[in-house]
Structure 1
Amino acid sequence: MSLARAALHAARPKPAVVAHVQRRLASSDSHAHDDHHHDAHHDTTQYPQEGFTSSGWLYSIIGGLALVGFYKFAPSAGDDNVVSRYIAHYSTPAETWEHANNKHLQLSTELQDSNMVLQHAVQSPVRRLRFPQALDMASPFNVPVGLDVDVSHVKAKTDSGL
């Protein structure tokens, strides 16, 4: 152990020693046998009388009556309620959305078709010459030695020849 580490170890505070209290398995302390040490507190709280007149029963009866009244005066399953009529009045008709969706589908299809054409395009396997007759137009005069290329066997190919 280095000297610096030993100094830090010595300067570190030691944990306090705690005395452990021995617990008994008995239900009470051994000094509780005397009557003059009895310190029981009695509950002196006054609770309301329980019965069918309590506020909980009153709230239950009022809630039940409100539920029956709501069920009686609520619109039937075939009728539109106020919220449904409000939403139907201020929402966009379904035909408008269907028209917009069909137009979007058509434009997406056209875009995809053009992308497919561009992605699957293949370059021509033959290098096209604008004027293939230019191969025969070379002058046989004033050509230095070694630069003359024999092109007599060259033939212009067509697409059917590929």
Structure 2
Amino acid sequence: MSAIRQRASLLIRQARPQAVRNTRRYGSSHGHDHHHEHTVEEKLGTGFYLTAATLAGTWVVYKVSRPGKDGELSTFSKWLKEWADLHQTWETRNDLLAAAVEQAAQDKHLLLNAPRNRTHDLRFPEVFNTGSPFNVPAGHYVNIDKVVAHYQQQHLKEEERKAKKLAAAAQQ
């Protein structure tokens, strides 16, 4: 029976009107407004900027695609024509560059496969006449043409020996 009694008392409490309570406010009721309400500044969202950019972009595309006065090409058509001309210019440049590279390769092969000079040029034959230039009587320098010819012959013999050695290695 206690369960029935508890349930009945709960229903009676809920049925009674609640007493109105006066709550005390500590706000600005007496003119002492020390606390200001915080203002929240809401920024414009991403959607706003996307919408504005879409509208502006649509207007720009519309203006660019319209033909000019007196049947002129539209700005967009002019841009496309300039782009095609630029592409044509690059094609011409690339063709000229390819032709130059091919010519350089032909010249390189021509120079590498040309017959070589069989003589050995001395950079400065005066190397044989090094020595003190002081106290040398006039006409006492030796003619070095024979010495230059000797070393040229020695160089030719060395080149022939190398050529024979390469030919023998190629036959094996």
Task: Please report the TM-score for the alignment, with normalisation by the length of structure 1.
Answer: 0.29
Report which of the two has the higher share of helix: 2
Task: Please report the TM-score for the alignment, with normalisation by the length of structure 2.
Answer: 0.28
